[in-house]
Amino acid sequence: MSVIKIYSDNFYLSNTNNLLIENNLLNEYLQNFDKINIKEIKPTIQNIHENIFEEDLSIVIDELINLIFKELNEGKDEGIIKRHVHNFINNYKLIPKEIYNWLLNNQYDYSNNICLLGYFNYYGIETNIDKKKAIELYQKAAELENNIAQLYLAEMYVHGKGINKNCILAFELSKKLADKGIPNAIDKLGYCYEEGIGIDINLQKAFELYQKAADLGNSSGINNLGWCYEEGIGTDINIPKAFELYQKAADSENSYGLNNLGCCYDSGIGTNVNTQKAFELYLMAANLENKFAQFNLGVMYEIGNGIEKNKNQAIYWYKKSAKQGHENAVHKLDDLLDITHV
């Protein structure tokens, strides 16, 4: 189903209203008693927070899901989205553990609840990280046409993040969502055409999709469009345009845009060489868990490019990059540590 943004400005209920709600909910439970597992029945009105009752919490959950959907479409990095999720919960003065428990008891067939429970499991929010369970929940929500769950599954199928790569499913999900006009999916579909994921390589099509995603404000699409102009992918090489797009993506805190802009300053692509600026941009992207920026920081520390040499710092950043699968970082560690594996 489509994710609808719902706002509620009033979470304060009078005692009279509370009694009415309790009666209504009791009647609803009695009418649907045969549909409910007796073991799952718990008090219907429980105080999640002194000003928010569970019927209001369902509205807050929808707002939180909508926030994630919005930021995915803006091309935000997962670390930034996760931080904003925590900020959202804190701003409402909610107790994350109680939200998690509420989600456990209110999955049923409501896809937003199922999807958010998957999100909590994937990132270990108030529970141990359990990507297998998260994927099961995402798949269940995706079957109910939840756009966010389908976006996350498409990403996992593309890169094999916690699940086996499946190029066909990655392409099918990306195309299905792109046909709905969802910017994140349009950008992802462009990547499928660029890399031949579930479809024949078509660089012109990739360029067009990146352009479309960029026009919709997706920072990942903006960065990828910059890459097309730098490398001549589906279009003519245009270095000034590439630099401009990397800058725009970096301004939106896109880690790939930050890293690519850092490369421009590091190598003098579309601008003058400025190793200090390159270092700052790499560091920002590295702190957003970008493995390429982490590798680039390692190189700068190893050779002392614009900064003082520091072997320990080089090893630190190479290790972080290698853990994310950057093969060159693994080789660098082999050289520096004289080992055959991390």
CA 107, CA 36: separation in Å to the nearest integer?
12
- 202 and 173 co-located in one domain: yes
pLDDT tens for residues 298-330? Answer: 999 999 988 899 999 999 999 999 999 899 999
- 183 and 233 co-located in one domain: yes
Q: For position 108, what pLDDT does the model report? A: 81
pLDDT of residue 228 exceeding 50 = yes
pLDDT of residue 151 exceeding 70 = yes
CB atoms near residue 275 (< 10 Å)? 15
* Residue that terminates a domain, selected from 149, 183, 203: 149
Put residue 306 in one of left, alpha, beta given phi > 0 → left and psi -120 to 50 → alpha: left
The average pLDDT across 155-175 equals 92
Helix 54-74, helix 96-105: angle, nearest 10: 100
pLDDT of residue 48 exceeding 70 = no
pLDDT of residue 269 exceeding 80 = yes
Residues 6+ apart with CB under 8 A from 125: 85, 86, 96, 100, 119
- 61 and 136 co-located in one domain: yes
In a domain, 83, yes or no: yes
Lowest mean pLDDT among 221-225, 283-287, 302-306: 302-306
The mean pLDDT of the chain is 85
- 223 and 256 co-located in one domain: no
In a domain, 159, yes or no: no
In a domain, 41, yes or no: no
The average pLDDT across 112-117 equals 96
The average pLDDT across 232-255 equals 98
- 121 and 174 co-located in one domain: no
Q: For position 161, what pLDDT does the model report? A: 78
Q: For position 144, what pLDDT does the model report? A: 96
CB atoms near residue 325 (< 10 Å)? 11
Q: For position 339, what pLDDT does the model report? A: 54
Both structure tokens of 49: 């927070």
In a domain, 43, yes or no: no
Q: In the 8-state DSSP scheme, what is residue 38?
A: G
Q: Are 1 and 146 in contact (CB under 8 A)?
A: yes
pLDDT of residue 45 exceeding 90 = no
Expressed as residue numbers, the domain containing 309 is 251-341
The average pLDDT across 167-174 equals 97
The average pLDDT across 115-123 equals 96
- Looking up residue 184, the CATH number of its domain turns out to be 1.25.40.10
CB atoms near residue 256 (< 10 Å)? 24
In a domain, 26, yes or no: no
In a domain, 18, yes or no: no
| Residue predicted with more confidence, 160 or 227 | 227
- 58 and 144 co-located in one domain: yes
CB atoms near residue 312 (< 10 Å)? 8
Query: How sure is the predictor about 53, in pLDDT bands with cuts at 50, 70 and 90?
Result: low
Q: Are 68 and 148 in contact (CB under 8 A)?
A: yes
- 128 and 180 co-located in one domain: no
Both structure tokens of 290: 């970008």
pLDDT tens for residues 176-198? Answer: 999 999 999 999 999 999 999 99
Query: How sure is the predictor about 55, in pLDDT bands with cuts at 50, 70 and 90?
Result: low
Total structural domains within the chain: 3
- 182 and 129 co-located in one domain: no
- 228 and 255 co-located in one domain: no
| Residue predicted with more confidence, 17 or 327 | 327
- 57 and 145 co-located in one domain: yes
* Residue that terminates a domain, selected from 115, 149, 183: 149
Q: For position 130, what pLDDT does the model report? A: 94
CA 171, CA 164: separation in Å to the nearest integer?
14
Q: What is the DSSP string of 214-251?
A: HHTT-HHHHHHHHHHHHHTSSS---HHHHHHHHHHHHH
Q: What percentage of the chain carries pLDDT values higher than 70?
A: 83
CA 28, CA 208: separation in Å to the nearest integer?
51
